[in-house]
Amino acid sequence: MKKHFDLHRFYRLLRFEFYSNKWEYILLIPILIGALWMVLLLGMINAMGSTYHENNYIPIFIIGYLAAGIFFNTKSFGALKKRHSAITYLGLPASTFEKYFLHWFLRIFLFTLLYPFFFYASVNAFIPLFKSLAGLYVEYYNPKKGLPEIPVFHFELVQPKTGRFIGDFSAFFGAIFTLTVIQLGSIAFGKWNLLKTLLSVFILQVVIYYFIRFIGFLKGGIEDLRPNFYTDGLPDHITWQEVSLVVLMAMTLIISWLATYLKLKEREV
């Protein structure tokens, strides 16, 4: 077991990661806060004299998670992108699994776990700041225009409300799978990894789309492929189709994680 994972080795690897990329971690939070506050500022200014609806937080939360997560994961295994640092990184006294798990833990698991709390704290800290500054502006420059009503952000807003396990799991899968694909691309493509990864995903989607169209043509039309087991409404029990989709998505995630690990292992040979 210690051949693949040792807590002491992992801690030393973690220290090396923070030391090597300290500015990335130091600047990440203030950059994210600045970008988020700028988006909130524009939205709340447009709501002056009316109401800033709490549903406006939902797209900001989702887009913020994807944008920050994609940017953060393009930096995965950054030491491998330069020859000198790659030699140093590959020579570290740590197993391949420890090196892979470190980036998975920091950039996918921990980021996904902490992002909601970061968003909650940032938004609710900005609201009184905006009201104070906007209040001064209204008082001196436009007394007739009142401050907008701004509700606080709460976690229930971004909790999936599909009422079905498959819907909730799909939302979770989509978030994690996006970051996983970006992390896989960061080690598979090296330089310009984000552009190459997005291009690969686009090509894959085109292939899947035309494959479905082709199967539909063979079956007599694309309408034949449309699921008809929900035409009378959603059943109360979990269907085998939902179970199959959950298993398929879980297997896709595991295969993607394994592919990233194997690609890293290939670089060490």
**What is residue 165's predicted lDDT score, i.e. its pLDDT?**
66
Q: Is 30 helix (H, G, I), strand (E, B) or coil?
A: helix
More confident site: 230 or 22: 22
pTM of this structure:
0.80
Alpha-carbon dihedral sign for residues 213, 217, 223, 229: negative
pLDDT single digits (tens) 131-163: 888 777 666 666 556 667 788 888 888 776 656
Query: What are the two backbone dihedrals, phi and then psi, of residue 154, each rounded to the nearest 5 degrees?
Result: -135, 155
pLDDT one-digit tens code per residue, 78-124:
777 777 777 777 777 888 888 899 999 999 999 999 999 999 999 99
8, exposed or middle or buried, with CB in 10 Å at 0-12, 13-18, 19+?
A: exposed
* Contact indicator for 135, 150 with CB cutoff of 8 Å: no
Tokens 């879980």: give the residue: 250
SS3 210: helix
Q: Per-residue confidence at 222, pLDDT binned at 50, 70, 90?
A: very low
Structure tokens, 40? 């909130």
What band does 232 get if pLDDT is binned at 50, 70 and 90?
A: very low
Dist. CA 130–CA 33, nearest whole Å: 14
User: What is the length of the chain?
Assistant: 269
* β partners of residue 149: 51
One-letter amino acid at 188 equals A
Give the tens place of pLDDT for each residue, 35-78: 999 999 888 887 776 778 888 888 899 999 988 998 888 888 87
| Single-letter code of the amino acid located at 205 | Q
Query: What letter represents residue 72's amino acid?
Result: F
